[in-house]
Amino acid sequence: MNLYAESSAVLAWLLGEAAAGDVREALGSAERVVASDLTLIESDRVLIRAVVTEQVSQAAAAERRSLLANASARWVLLPLAPEVVDRSRRPFLREPVRTLDAIHLASALLARTGLPEIALLSLDESVRSNGEALGFVILP
């Protein structure tokens, strides 16, 4: 199965949250993982904030960045292309949708144009709800 990995799921995996095992399993079993550059940006920003607020040590953050770098080296990364920006600016089926969530949904739709059988890996309820309304299989 191909899958689009949204930030909330990737962060749960990186930070060892409750759903980390399910996310790791989905990422590990996927034939192809697609993510937006936004996923990497958000992940790095969360790790930077965690270090600055002393929730995570520099060493732990570096280890998590390394995990992300190793995993994402095998992913297909989508840039914030004009069609993603355009789609993000229009309404979704289940509004309200936050800006970054709209970018993820638009990126997943773009990914689906090349990979019609792509699932959406997200823990965010708004993304999951809209993804389901858009016809995506939702994981976990």
The domains found in the chain, sorted by start residue, are 2-40+75-139 (3.40.50.1010)
Give me the pLDDT at residue 17, please.
96
Give me the pLDDT at residue 98, please.
97
Give me the pLDDT at residue 40, please.
98
Give me the pLDDT at residue 53, please.
97
- List, in sequence order, every residue forming a beta bridge with 76; answer none if it has no partner: 34
Q: Where are the beta strands (DSSP E) in 32-117?
A: 32-36, 76-78
- List the chain residues with pLDDT less than 70: none
